[in-house]
Structure 1
Amino acid sequence: METFDVLVIGGGPAGYVAAIRAAQLGFKVACVDAFTRAGKASLGGTCLNVGCIPSKALLDSSERFEMIAHDVQEHGIEVASPTIDVSRMLARKDGVVDKLTGGIAYLFKKNKITSFHGVGRLVRQEGEGWVVDAAGTEVAARNVIVATGSSPRALPGVPFGGHIVENSGALEIDRVPGQLGVIGAGVIGLELGSVWRRLGAEVTILEAMPGFLMSADDAVAREALKHFKKQGLDFHFGVKIGEVTQDESGVSVTYEEKGQSVTARFDKLIVSIGRVPHTSGLGAEAVGLELDERGFVKVDHHYRTNLSGVYAIGDVIGGAMLAHKAEEEGVALAEQLAGQAGHVNYDVIPWVIYTSPEIAWAGLTEKQAKEQGLSVKTGQFPFSANGRALGHGDPRGFVKVIADAQTDKLLGVHMVGPNVSELIGETVAIMEFGGSAEDLARTVHAHPTLSEVVKEAALAADGRALHM
């Protein structure tokens, strides 16, 4: 029976990054992953295969289509009645995924990581390590990392299938639906709803929460909702979903809104109401691996489970279900196993929604800061006063900076506007080093760039914005 220093169960962002970093640190590493796409083993988990990467490919394709159909005329460009070939759009998306998942397989080979395709199951503790069933082959491992990720949550009593799809199914819709329903106004619902809305679908979004993006800063949420409504997305908040039925032609959804019962008919229904930890087949109960009341693997701040030599990272332990959070946990744990000081600062993990306009934030909202008893000051600057945004033709939104009124420490930055997914990084770096709004304001930003809006917002926190 072959023995490894580290065996990772799961090949998503948490698992494959942990495996690569552990191999870089000199460990003998194996990874067992069950993900299959197009009938073949495919590393990268949900993110690369049916999540972050393919959704961004479709967002880009659909945004280009909408730009050609509606936005290029002001540039003096005339295009007569553009059409969309959905099959070619999906093929392009699949090609992007193939390149990246193939890249992970190459990195495994480069770093001499043994790969098993199939389910990984904890079998028994043996000496100071564990015996693991790695896709039908028993191997030994001194350290086991559980990184099995999460799965889409279904509506109670309403399984996925047919016209009712989750994120992966929404990426494979082969024609533009006339009427598209989306249950859940979170990241997945907004992004995938936006894709098909741009291509011509009428999109209705049903959300149980009473307000929009309640985890984001209030000002950002209001601004984003204004633009999404203008685009034609039809939002209904505070709804209670009742009966959901489907037949050959579509789906009927009955829901309660403001005390009234409403029945809506859709060609397709995307259900995006969160994700649940994926522990099926892991053997958790058989070996006594402790899960919490929601099914997440319980860990301490060093990712140790209740079983000696068994660790867990990524979606399966809860917290922010973000690929970049999972990757950092993979790096931190691998370094801890090597005796280094691996660490993740959960207070400044960036959040991004890749709609148009994009939404991004890191750190505290203004409301959260005040609830913690902090005295705050804020600065806000619009993209409409930025030369690059105007030249680009997208001056929507703003950047908002939140700082401690006494110390000037940067507490949070919140953005809605063009390419803010790329702008949030510098603010995270400032917060990671405990920097101030003044540090951000005094940093020279190239002109003309969108990043100047970040600088101006930091200046505005002290009443010194230059261009407003």
Structure 2
Amino acid sequence: MSTYDVTVIGSGPGGYVAAIRCAQLGLKTAIIEKYNTLGGTCLNVGCIPSKALLDSSHHYHDAIHHFEKHGIDAKEVKINFKQMIDRKGEVVAQTSGGINYLMDKNNIDVYTGLGSFKDATHINITSNDEVNTIESKHTIIATGSKPSSLPFIKIDKKRIITSTEALSLSEIPKHMIVIGGGVIGLELGQVYSRLGAEVSVIEYMPTIIPTMDSMLSKELQKSLKKQGMKFYTSHKVNGVSVNGNEVTVTADDKKGNPVEFKGDYCLVSVGRKPYTDGLGLENVGVKVTERGQIETDAHLKTNISNIYAIGDVIKGAMLAHKAEEEGSMVAEIIAGQKPHIDYNLIPGVVYTWPEVASVGKTEEQLKEEGVKYKTGSFPMRALGRARASMDIDGQVKVLAHAETDEILGMHMIGARAADMIAEAVIAMEFRASSEDVARSSHAHPTYTEAIKEACLAVDGRAIHS
């Protein structure tokens, strides 16, 4: 029987990062993955393939809408949808291969099969009806999440689909109905909208991306509507049915009146739920909440002293980079170090175009908490760089403490916001004031000048607006 210091169950961003960090710290490490490829949801059916399709569809959208303005005459631009899907697969395969390389480089033993607890220190690995048992001093659960649905919706994976199926369709929908105006629904909705599909987004809440700052919701919806997407907020879906190739979605509008939507595909994107099936948690007594999340303490330890859990299976935002931070933290805790994570400084991103990014407190949260604050904002259209690239939608908003001027939150929508948010995270990690950022030189012309200008605007000093 093989024996390890640490075994990680699940090879997504949290799991494989935890395994690498454990190995770096001198711990004999194994990782168990039930599927044949490493990388979990993020790499195989989430972050990476969706970004590949977002980029491909963005190129096409630019070619038919913007190239002429740039002086590029590209006649008869056509979509080779199969090639687009094939390229996505190539990106996934290359990235997965990279994780295999990292496992080899760090001398991590990889097991393929379903990992389940026999007891607190022994794990069964089932593959092709064969069971292999290993012994592990510590175990990190990193099994991630899977798409949620609504009780009355039957996902047939053909016409009523989740994000997994939406990444590998054989045709471009004529009319895709998206249930859920969150990150996943908006990203995939924009992919198919760019490719020519009619896209209708039905959201239960009054706003899309409802957990983010209201400014971002308003700006994003305005921009996506200009691109042709339709939105039905404050709508409660109560039925989804299929008749041949036609999907019918019934809902009640904000006034309670019944409405009906008909399309050829329905994407159900109402969130994700922790995935712990088959782990055998009951065999060791690991506690799970009513929402299916594994209970952990501040050090991400479960109620069983040698078992930890990270990522989507525990509380908090379901974000790949959150899982990565937690994976590193647990590895270092097991090794006797004292790391920490400031969850307030885990950024959230929506990879539509314009991109949306946010970190820290929203304006709504500060009001609710009674924190005195001041705000500054700056429109992207006032930037020379934005005008040069024709990406003028969006703005940056900074929230700073009214007395200390410490930055409490930063929210941005615009070109490359997903990359720009790192500046906000670093500034807030070191408890910078808006004055600190305002007095830091930013290269011209760049999109990040909007951050400097928004910080200047906190005290009414913006130069270019």
TM-score class, shorter: over 0.9
Supply the AA of the counterpart residue of 1:227: S
Give the whole-Å Cα distance in 2 for the aligned partners of 1:55 and 1:14: 19
Give the whole-Å Cα distance in 2 for the aligned partners of 1:119 and 1:247: 37
The answer to whether the Cα contact below 8 Å between 1:427 and 1:440 also exists between their aligned partners in 2 is no
Q: Compare 97-106 and 253-262 and name the one that shifted more.
A: 253-262
For structure 1, which runs of at least 5 residues remain unmatched after alignment?
36-40
The answer to whether the Cα contact below 8 Å between 2:294 and 2:302 also exists between their aligned partners in 1 is yes
Cα deviation digits, residues 216-275 of structure 1 (max 9, x gap): 212222111111111111111121212211133131111111222122211111100011
Supply the AA of the counterpart residue of 1:371: E
Alpha-carbon offset, residue 286 of structure 1:
2.6
Give the whole-Å Cα distance in 2 for the aligned partners of 1:380 and 1:308: 47
Alpha-carbon offset, residue 158 of structure 1:
2.5
Q: Which residue of 2 aligns with 1:4?
A: 4
Is 1:199 matched with 2:190? no
Cα deviation digits, residues 48-68 of structure 1 (max 9, x gap): 000000000000000110100
Give the whole-Å Cα distance in 1 for the aligned partners of 2:186 and 2:76: 26
Query: Which residue, out of 26, 35, 47, partners 1:52?
Result: 47
- CA RMSD in angstroms comes to 1.0
The answer to whether the Cα contact below 8 Å between 2:10 and 2:40 also exists between their aligned partners in 1 is yes
Give the whole-Å Cα distance in 1 for the aligned partners of 2:364 and 2:76: 46
Q: Which residue of 2 aligns with 1:389?
A: 386
Query: Which residue, out of 96, 119, 123, partners 2:114?
Result: 119
Q: Which residue of 2 aligns with 1:355?
A: 352
Q: Which residue of 1 aligns with 2:137?
A: 142
Alpha-carbon offset, residue 456 of structure 1:
0.6
Is 1:171 matched with 2:162? no
Give the whole-Å Cα distance in 2 for the aligned partners of 1:29 and 1:448: 47
Give the whole-Å Cα distance in 2 for the aligned partners of 1:119 and 1:333: 22
The answer to whether the Cα contact below 8 Å between 2:7 and 2:31 also exists between their aligned partners in 1 is yes
Is 1:132 matched with 2:123? yes
Alpha-carbon offset, residue 380 of structure 1:
0.7
The answer to whether the Cα contact below 8 Å between 1:389 and 1:395 also exists between their aligned partners in 2 is yes
Secondary structure of 1:252 counterpart? strand
Q: Which residue of 2 aligns with 1:377?
A: 374
The answer to whether the Cα contact below 8 Å between 1:334 and 1:342 also exists between their aligned partners in 2 is no
Supply the AA of the counterpart residue of 1:133: N
Give the whole-Å Cα distance in 2 for the aligned partners of 1:357 and 1:241: 28
The answer to whether the Cα contact below 8 Å between 1:361 and 1:415 also exists between their aligned partners in 2 is yes
Q: Which residue of 1 aligns with 2:103?
A: 108
Give the whole-Å Cα distance in 2 for the aligned partners of 1:209 and 1:367: 15
The answer to whether the Cα contact below 8 Å between 1:277 and 1:318 also exists between their aligned partners in 2 is no
Alpha-carbon offset, residue 464 of structure 1:
1.1
Give the whole-Å Cα distance in 1 for the aligned partners of 2:327 and 2:284: 23
The answer to whether the Cα contact below 8 Å between 2:152 and 2:238 also exists between their aligned partners in 1 is no
Is 1:279 matched with 2:270? no
Cα deviation digits, residues 374-410 of structure 1 (max 9, x gap): 1111111111111111111111111111100100000
Q: Compare 271-280 and 233-242 and name the one that shifted more.
A: 233-242
Is 1:98 matched with 2:93? yes
Q: Taking every aligned residue pair, what percent have the same amino acid on both sides? A: 49
Alignment of 1:429-444 (within 5 A): 429-444=426-441
Q: Which residue of 1 aligns with 2:69?
A: 74
Q: Which residue of 2 aligns with 1:38?
A: none
Query: Which residue, out of 308, 329, 339, partners 1:332?
Result: 329
Give the whole-Å Cα distance in 1 for the aligned partners of 2:291 and 2:390: 46
Cα deviation digits, residues 166-222 of structure 1 (max 9, x gap): 111000111111111100000000000000000000001111112222222122221
Q: Compare 449-458 and 362-371 and name the one that shifted more.
A: 362-371
Give the whole-Å Cα distance in 1 for the aligned partners of 2:265 and 2:194: 16
Supply the AA of the counterpart residue of 2:60: F
Query: Which residue, out of 220, 223, 232, partners 2:219?
Result: 223
The answer to whether the Cα contact below 8 Å between 2:147 and 2:269 also exists between their aligned partners in 1 is yes
Q: Which residue of 1 aligns with 2:149?
A: 154
Secondary structure of 1:72 counterpart? coil
Cα deviation digits, residues 340-372 of structure 1 (max 9, x gap): 112111011111101111111100111211222
Query: Which residue, out of 232, 239, 243, partners 2:239?
Result: 243
The answer to whether the Cα contact below 8 Å between 2:287 and 2:294 also exists between their aligned partners in 1 is yes
Q: Which residue of 2 aligns with 1:181?
A: 177
Alpha-carbon offset, residue 315 of structure 1:
0.2
Give the whole-Å Cα distance in 1 for the aligned partners of 2:236 and 2:463: 48
Q: Which residue of 2 aligns with 1:464?
A: 461
Q: Which residue of 2 aligns with 1:18?
A: 18
Alpha-carbon offset, residue 79 of structure 1:
1.7
Cα deviation digits, residues 390-433 of structure 1 (max 9, x gap): 11111111111110010000001000111111111011001011
For normalisation by structure 1, the TM-score amounts to 0.96
Give the whole-Å Cα distance in 2 for the aligned partners of 1:348 and 1:322: 13
Supply the AA of the counterpart residue of 1:134: I
**How many residues are treated as equivalent by the alignment?**
459
Secondary structure of 1:32 counterpart? strand
Give the whole-Å Cα distance in 2 for the aligned partners of 1:67 and 1:371: 41
Query: Which residue, out of 407, 410, 422, partners 2:407?
Result: 410
Alignment of 1:287-366 (within 5 A): 287-366=284-363
Is 1:211 matched with 2:204? no
Secondary structure of 1:26 counterpart? coil
Q: Which residue of 2 aligns with 1:422?
A: 419
Alignment of 1:444-459 (within 5 A): 444-459=441-456
Secondary structure of 2:75 counterpart? coil
Give the whole-Å Cα distance in 2 for the aligned partners of 1:341 and 1:408: 30
For structure 2, which runs of at least 5 residues remain unmatched after alignment?
none
The answer to whether the Cα contact below 8 Å between 1:379 and 1:457 also exists between their aligned partners in 2 is yes
Give the whole-Å Cα distance in 2 for the aligned partners of 1:53 and 1:168: 12
Alpha-carbon offset, residue 316 of structure 1:
0.2
Supply the AA of the counterpart residue of 1:445: H
The answer to whether the Cα contact below 8 Å between 2:13 and 2:324 also exists between their aligned partners in 1 is yes
Give the whole-Å Cα distance in 2 for the aligned partners of 1:292 and 1:209: 25
Supply the AA of the counterpart residue of 1:447: H
